[in-house]
Each structure stands twice: as C-alpha cells, then as structure tokens.
Amino acid sequence: MHKCGVVLPLDGHTLAHDLFVCYFEQLPPFEVKKKSDFPDTSSLLALENYAKNQGTQGIMVSRDGGWAVFPKESDYL
C-alpha cells in the first residue's frame, strides 16, 4: 500500500547538532543577513533524515533560495 503522507520526526540523533552547525557556519538555508531560518533548517534536516532512513531521494519544490541550495550538498534531497 502506498502512503499518502508521513509525519517526519524531529527527534533524530543528530538533528540539533546539524541545525546548529548550519546556523553558525551560515550554511544553506541560513543566509548571511537572515539568521531566523530554524524552521526551514529543521524541516530540511527532517526531510533529509527521512529520505536517508528510507533509502530514497526526496523531491522538494520551493522558491526559497536556501531550500534551493541545500539539496546540492545532499545525497538524499
């Protein structure tokens, strides 16, 4: 049976660590002048972790510049 949707967990072992690395190193989706992207980063890391755990790739659509750059460094998005 094909799933219509899944609630992604935010309790991964590395989620908080990865979030702060992205924040302090100003990695996508954090921008140099815009440092309020915690929801974006949490979402992207959760999507990436889910795809990794499922052994697949996720496809995202967004007009946000950080969302467009983040997958370039990911094997799963």
- pLDDT tens string 19-32: 778 777 877 777 66
Is the sign of the CA dihedral 10, 14, 15, 17 positive or negative?
positive
What residue segments make up the domains of the chain, in order of their start? 15-73
66 confidence band (pLDDT: 50, 70, 90): confident
pLDDT in tens, 26-54: 777 776 665 566 778 778 888 898 899 89
* Closest by CA position to 77, among listed 42, 49, 40, 37: 49
pTM for the model stands at 0.60
User: By CB neighbour count within 10 A (0-12 exposed, 13-18 middle, 19+ buried), where does 75 fall?
Assistant: exposed
